[in-house]
Amino acid sequence: MQISFAAPSPKVQTGSWVVAASEGKALSPAAVKADKASGGALTRALKFSRFTGKSGQLLEVLAPEGLGVSRLLLVGLGKPAALDGKGLEVIGAQITARLDSAGETSATFEIEVPKGSKIKNGEAAAHLAFGARLRGYSFEKYRTRNLDEHKRHLNALKLTTAEISAAKRAWQGLDAVADGVLLARDLVNEPPNILYPVEFARRVKALAKLGLKVEVLGEAEMKKQGFGALLGVGQGSERESQLVVMQWNGARKKGNPVAFVGKGVCFDSGGLSLKPGAGMMGMKGDMGGAAAVTGTMLALATRKAKVNAVGVIGVVENMPDGGAIRPDDVLTSLSGQTIEVLNTDAEGRLVLADALTYTQRRFKPKFVIDLATLTGAIVQALGFEHAGVFSNDDKLSDRLAQAGRTTGERVWRLPLDPAYDKMIRSKIADVKNIGGANSGSITAAQFLKRFIDDGMVWAHLDIAGVAWQDGEHKPMIPSWGTGWGVKLLDRLIHEHYES
């Protein structure tokens, strides 16, 4: 979607013209202008509709007389005091959905912020565009028929505002974040026969052109270094396991980086502890954590964030063959701790264990945040609206919660507590990889904590309920893969860790 910012003109003459009203049918100046230019078409239509100006409401006038546009679209902004960036993004997405389903190819948004709201016009335009771009996404590369039915039509969006330079400045950052979200969605949506570990690594390497430093460790190197847990997961697969390390050094000063670690299981069959058919569907998305880390690193590099950041993803395929790990095997992790594998389907924590050790040892980060589609239990607990967060640091946890409220990628904290440790005690090794029937997300987090160094600030995000969506789509997410986490992590960095 092509997005541009321009000064308002007296009349819009092509495509759709979108103007706004706040709650109580209070027409904005642009709406009044459009109404006059169309000989009162909007006020006439208002009389015969239930439009009140509630946030996201739409009133459409087709082929208004006296104007060259195909339609006038009046959008509700709700109560001025409640209007913020996130709300405008949703509104931008709702308009886009409507225009797109109508087959419209170009539109001009002339949406002023009403008096009494906190956000400024330039910034508001950028947030509208951000919502439009996220909603304008589609993943159609594997369709060869009926493409017209599925593809996006709206491809040019002009946002008019008196504050052009402020809008462009805000857009530079948001456009980069959108790039990251869309990449993460693409990665999650790709089928697992196409996106296997080596291919995932190849796609990350292509990001080096943005100034990211990318390194890939293959199986031989990881074996030499002792990645026994991660390699154990991949050993039943025909596809080679990979560890991908991304670095972005954008801070003014040298200094320890922040670190993100992602679970990248390109397909999770469960291994020998095979998943039943229905539970295996969608397990191409089990690399959603790695996708979020990759998308975040892309966003940081693209907007030249003033931060030093590393992203480390463990990319593997969990398959059952004669060489696969067995329930009862004992693996020696990179940390030296031994792990009794009692269920090969609890593989994500094995991958993360080694990736976390590697990241802490090599980079001594300020903090490490891992993201993983780790447990079905988190979906039971929190559904599709929050990711679970587990942390040994109240400040980091609070910052994540706040960034979640700002961006809409919300997180809910759950406990870590030594009292759960007995559930992962092994009869013969240092730890076992399952904790029993209850509190499955907590015992998984408790397992990861065994691989966090003393004093390391750490948060674990269990994103199993939010990395993809079946059924009804959220307004800004028109595909199965959500790209969840990129907005959240970018916001966290932007608010607290740029120098």
Residue 348 in contact with ligand BES, rule: CB under 6 A:
yes
Nearer to ligand BES, 40 or 282 (CB): 282
Footprint of Mn ion on residues 94-153 (CB under 5 A)? none
* CA gap 291, 310 in Å, rounded: 14
Nearer to ligand BES, 216 or 280 (CB): 280
Contacts of 478 (CB under 8 A, 6+ apart): 97, 135, 136, 137, 138
50 has catalytic annotation: no
* Smallest distance, ligand BES to C-beta of residue 499, A: 36
Cβ atoms of 184 and 490 closer than 8 Å:
no
Q: Which of 252, 227, 298, 1 is nearest to 135 (CA)?
A: 1
* CA gap 450, 336 in Å, rounded: 11
Residue 464's binding partner, choosing from Mn ion, ligand BES, Zn ion, none, with beta-carbon cut-off 5 to 8 A by kind?
ligand BES
What is the number of the residue whose Cβ is closest to Mn ion? 345
Torsion of CA 134, 139, 145, 147, to 10 degrees: 20
Point out which span in 59-67, 131-139, 296-304, 338-346 binds ligand BES (CB under 6 A). Answer: 338-346
Q: Which helix (H) or strand (E) holds 221?
A: helix 219-225
Catalytic residue among 135, 185, 303, 349: 349
List the structure tokens of 50. 């239930």
Cβ atoms of 347 and 275 closer than 8 Å:
no
Footprint of Zn ion on residues 282-321 (CB under 5 A)? 286
Footprint of ligand BES on residues 375-404 (CB under 6 A)? 375-377, 379
* CA gap 64, 76 in Å, rounded: 19
Cβ atoms of 135 and 478 closer than 8 Å:
yes
Q: How far is CA 88 from CA 41, 114, 327, in A?
A: 25, 12, 50
Q: Which of 417, 465, 481, 393 is nearest to 191 (CA)?
A: 481
Q: Residues 415-454: x/- map of binding to ligand BES (CB under 6 A)?
A: -------------------x-----x--------------
Residue 317 in contact with ligand BES, rule: CB under 6 A:
no
Catalytic residue among 275, 306, 413, 474: 275
Point out which span in 343-351, 416-424, 472-480, 490-498 binds ligand BES (CB under 6 A). Answer: 343-351
Mapped onto helix, strand or coil, the DSSP state of residue 212 is coil
Residues in the chain: 499
Residue 340 in contact with Mn ion, rule: CB under 5 A:
no
Residue 288's binding partner, choosing from Mn ion, ligand BES, Zn ion, none, with beta-carbon cut-off 5 to 8 A by kind?
none
* Smallest distance, ligand BES to C-beta of residue 469, A: 12
Residue 346 in contact with ligand BES, rule: CB under 6 A:
yes
| Total residues binding ligand BES (CB under 6 A) | 16
Residue 370 in contact with Zn ion, rule: CB under 5 A:
no
Residue 440's binding partner, choosing from Zn ion, ligand BES, Mn ion, none, with beta-carbon cut-off 5 to 8 A by kind?
ligand BES
Q: Residues 271-290: x/- map of binding to ligand BES (CB under 6 A)?
A: ---------------x----
Contacts of 152 (CB under 8 A, 6+ apart): 1, 100, 136, 137, 138
* CA gap 137, 114 in Å, rounded: 29
Q: Residues 201-230: x/- map of binding to ligand BES (CB under 6 A)?
A: ------------------------------
* CA gap 303, 308 in Å, rounded: 13
349 has catalytic annotation: yes
Footprint of Zn ion on residues 250-279 (CB under 5 A)? 265, 268
* CA gap 293, 304 in Å, rounded: 16
Catalytic residue IDs: 275, 349
Binding site for ligand BES (CB under 6 A): 268, 286, 343, 345-348, 373-377, 379, 434, 440, 464
